[in-house]
């Protein structure tokens, strides 16, 4: 098969500094490697919206067949997605959203529901003050907005609970430390901290620890990665009380992109499942995730072996051709 015959899929990834995005990339790559007809290109925007716009412009001018994008922020990426749609290139938006409805389809977990699940978890487990701190993801990114929306909605319905302070985080650990320290010094009776991801929840725990408060507060995060310092491990080691699974959907994204390419009908909104992971199920979920990881490793090593054989076959073929001259 010649490169030109392949289905060109361009994936514009927001950044790849964290393990969640690394897992997303590896699962989309595995899915692509199982489909020889697919030519997948991943561009990393380094958390810079202008770079992400340029990356997508490049996909458009290279006439890829489908674009997948995880937009860093909603507003700045909206126009370039519309431009792609106008140019006749379908766009599958994953994880974070753009503004409006001018895209082909969306894939991701329901982030409003994730916020609500976090709130319900606190309400059903609380025995103390009912005082909560919320730490949000980056401003302008849709999961931060939606997780806050769902969380505040459910907490505000309940008189015994109050969100004492909301810290505007940026998804990363550093953004939590100074503001949280100042708040905890004033409010030593905080019972729960809900952070919009596990990295910030871990940072909150570390900050509380510097004040000797880590055992008085319960921490809840989002993502539930099965990795070193991932949510599952943090629940098992007692750092987090709970984490809400936010699947990366890498493999599903590629499958959906191909359906779109093949003009099959797809839903506009494709919702990935979520679940709360705490002491009760962390072990079971970890075992399941380990099995999936092992299978992925097997697939990868088989793919590697096939490549080696293909090379050998090609060089033998060359030899046969060469010998046929004599
Ligand atoms: C990874 C991440 C996750 C979070 C998601 C939201 O870059 O920060 O931790 O759940 O993005 O889009």
Hey, how many other C-beta atoms are within 10 angstroms of the C-beta on 13? 24
Around ligand 1, the residues with Cβ closer than 6 Å are: 18, 20-21, 95-96, 137, 141, 143, 171, 197, 222-223, 246
User: Once rounded to an integer, what is the mean pLDDT over residues 232-249?
Assistant: 98
- What's the 56 CA to ligand 1 centre distance in angstroms? 20
Atom of ligand 1 nearest to the CA of 17: 7
Cβ neighbors of 235 (< 8 A, separation 6 or more) are 241, 242, 243, 277, 278, 279, 282
- What angle, rounded to 10 degrees, do the helices at 198-210 and 174-186 form? 50
What does DSSP assign to residue 255? H
Q: Calculate how far, in angstroms, residue 20's C-alpha sits from the geometric centre of ligand 1.
A: 7
Going from the Cα of 137 to the center of ligand 1, the distance in angstroms, rounded, reads 8
pLDDT of residue 134: 98
Nearest atom (ligand 1) to Cα of 197 = 9
| DSSP result, 5-24 | GSEEEEEEES--SSHHHHHH
What is the 55 CA–ligand 1 centroid distance (Å)? 20
What is the mean pLDDT of the segment spanning 269-293? 96
CA distance 67 to 177: 37
CA–centroid distance, residue 197 to ligand 1 (Å): 7
Q: pLDDT tens for residues 162-206?
A: 999 999 999 999 999 999 999 999 999 999 999 999 999 999 999
Rounded-to-integer distance, Cα 176 and Cα 190, Å: 16
| Ligand 1 pocket mutation pick from 135, 143, 146 by most atoms within 8 angstroms of CB | 143
Q: Give the pLDDT of residue 4.
A: 65
Q: How far is CA 253 from the centre of its chain?
A: 12
Whether ipTM exceeds 0.90: yes
Name the band, by pLDDT with cuts 50, 70 and 90, for residue 54.
Answer: very high
Which of 95, 173, 176 should be mutated for ligand 1, with most atoms under 8 A from CB?
A: 95
- Supply angle C-alpha 127, 119, 281, rounded to 5: 80
Residues 26-40 have pLDDT tens digits of 999 999 999 999 999
Res 2: pLDDT? 57
Report the pLDDT value the prediction gives residue 259, as an integer from 0 to 100: 98
Could you tell me the distance, in angstroms and rounded to a whole number, from the CA of residue 96 to the centre of ligand 1? 9
How much is the pLDDT for 300? Answer: 82
Mean pLDDT of 67-83: 98
Q: Tell me, what's the pLDDT at 318?
A: 87
Structure confidence at residue 3 as a pLDDT band (50, 70, 90): low
Q: Are 41 and 64 in contact (CB under 8 A)?
A: yes
Q: Among 107, 137, 202, 227, name the best residue to mutate to test ligand 1's pocket (greatest count of ligand atoms within 8 A of Cβ).
A: 137
**E strand or H helix at 152, and its extent?**
helix 142-156
Cα of 171 vs centre of ligand 1, distance in Å, is: 7
Atom number of ligand 1 nearest to Cα 246? 10
Which phi and psi angles does 84 have, rounded to 5°?
-65, -45
Model pLDDT for residues 301-317, shown as the tens digit of each residue: 888 888 889 888 988 88
pLDDT value of position 219:
98
Q: Ligand 1, atom 1: nearest CA belongs to which residue?
A: 20
Kindly report, residue by residue over 104-141, the tens digit of the pLDDT.
Answer: 999 999 999 999 999 999 999 999 999 999 999 999 99
Between CA 253 and CA 25 the distance in angstroms is 11
- Residue whose entry in the numeric block shows the structure tokens 């092992």: 294
As a whole number of angstroms, the distance between CA 195 and CA 203 comes to 9
């Amino acid at each position: 098969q010649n490169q030109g015959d392949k289905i060109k899929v361009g994936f514009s990834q927001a950044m790849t500094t964290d393990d969640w995005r690394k897992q997303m990339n590896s699962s989309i790559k595995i899915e692509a490697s199982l489909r020889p007809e697919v030519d997948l290109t991943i561009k990393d925007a380094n958390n810079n919206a202008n770079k992400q716009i340029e990356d997508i412009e490049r996909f458009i001018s290279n006439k890829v067949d489908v674009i997948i994008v995880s937009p860093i922020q909603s507003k700045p990426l909206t126009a370039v997605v519309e431009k792609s749609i106008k140019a006749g290139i379908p766009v599958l938006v994953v994880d974070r959203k753009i503004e409006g409805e001018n895209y082909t389809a969306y894939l991701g977990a329901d982030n409003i529901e994730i916020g609500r699940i976090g709130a319900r978890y606190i309400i059903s487990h609380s025995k103390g003050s009912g005082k909560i701190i919320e730490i949000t993801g980056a401003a302008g990114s849709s999961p931060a907005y939606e997780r806050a929306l769902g969380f505040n909605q459910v907490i505000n319905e309940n008189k015994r609970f109050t969100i004492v302070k909301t810290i505007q985080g940026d998804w990363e650990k550093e953004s939590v430390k100074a503001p949280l320290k100042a708040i905890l010094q004033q409010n030593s009776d905080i019972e729960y901290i809900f952070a919009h991801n596990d990295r910030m929840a871990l940072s909150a725990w570390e900050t509380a620890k510097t004040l000797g408060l880590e055992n008085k507060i319960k921490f809840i995060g989002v993502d539930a990665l099965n990795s070193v310092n991932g949510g599952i491990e943090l629940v098992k080691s007692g750092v987090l009380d709970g984490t809400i699974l936010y699947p990366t959907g890498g493999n599903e994204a590629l499958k959906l992109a191909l359906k779109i390419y093949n003009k099959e009908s797809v839903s506009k909104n494709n919702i990935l499942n979520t679940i709360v992971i705490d002491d009760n199920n962390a072990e079971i979920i970890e075992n399941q995730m380990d099995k999936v990881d092992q299978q992925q490793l097997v697939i990868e090593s088989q793919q590697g072996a096939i490549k080696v054989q293909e090379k050998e076959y090609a060089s033998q073929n060359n030899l046969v051709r060469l010998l046929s001259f004599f």
